Amino acid sequence: MAFSKYHNVFVIWLKSDPGKITDWLSAIGTLAAVVLALFTNHLLSKKNREMEFSKSRPFFLVENIDSMLSENDLVVPVKNSGSLPEFSKKRLVIKNVSKKHMMAVQVKVTFGEKKDTKITVDYFVDVIKNNQNVNFLYPNGYGVPTKIVIFLHTEMRERELLPWHFDISTNRWIYDYKDKKLENQIHRPTTYFDDYDVNNFTPNIIYKVDTR
């Protein structure tokens, strides 16, 4: 009954001045146009922002190596694990093949599959420069690496979390792109970057191989 009462009043009000219908339709159209313009502007701003961030993201390759080090190779041992000669020639190589630097790089390497026996070791590097290769030496006796997670800052200070798993059949690292986290593309980045604290970032010593 109440709805019918107000509906009748509204109809009478419109009939008293037919021009009100035109005014209402015009107002609704204007409001819709404003909302559409704001939404379109938001989408364009987000797209432009993503394009700018994507331009600063470095492209790099990861590879397992089991061979002697060469002259002038840059080598990183596990943090707080001793001097360089204690490590095997088996290593992870990150090859930055782009023109962008990789800033504040943290590499987490997991050895083993079982929860009670797997071991994770960390490496920290201030920067991997454009077109630079860096060797991360595996500790002796840790077995086959199964997973790596690479954290880094781009030159636009966007944080990235990039996971990989090791395929034993092909002896290659496979990029798990569906599980990557790019700070500019996620709603709550702190959830994924708890293990990446650049405020307490202390880099490893980087050695340069001298075979002389």
- Provide the token pair at 30: 């204007």
Same domain, 32 and 111: no
Handedness of CA 135, 136, 142, 148 (dihedral sign): negative
Same domain, 42 and 68: no
Same domain, 65 and 145: yes
Angstrom distances, CA of residue 115 to CA of 10, 44, 73, 110, 120 = 69, 45, 34, 11, 11
Into how many domains does the chain fold? 2
Instruction: Give the residue ranges of the chain where pLDDT is below 70.
Output: 1-25, 37-50, 79-88, 189-190, 210-212
Same domain, 117 and 37: no
**Domain end position, chosen among 53, 69, 93:** 53
Q: What is the residue range of 17's domain?
A: 2-53
Same domain, 66 and 28: no
**Residues near 71 by beta carbon (within 8 Å), at least 6 away in sequence:** 209, 210, 211
Amino acid at 210: D
Give the pLDDT score at 73: 87
**What is the pTM assigned to this prediction?**
0.73
156: closest CA among 60, 53, 45, 59?
Answer: 53
Give the pLDDT score at 44: 55
Give the pLDDT score at 85: 47
pLDDT tens digits, 84-96:
544 557 899 999 9
pLDDT tens digits, 92-112:
999 999 999 999 999 999 998
**Residues near 151 by beta carbon (within 8 Å), at least 6 away in sequence:** 104, 105, 106, 107, 108, 159, 160, 161, 162, 193, 195, 196
Same domain, 15 and 81: no
Same domain, 87 and 18: no
Same domain, 110 and 204: yes
Same domain, 170 and 68: yes
Same domain, 32 and 68: no
Going by the DSSP 8-state scheme, the letter that residue 204 receives in this structure is P
Give the pLDDT score at 175: 95
Phi, psi (rounded to 5 degrees) for 121: -120, 155
Give the pLDDT score at 162: 95
Give the pLDDT score at 8: 56
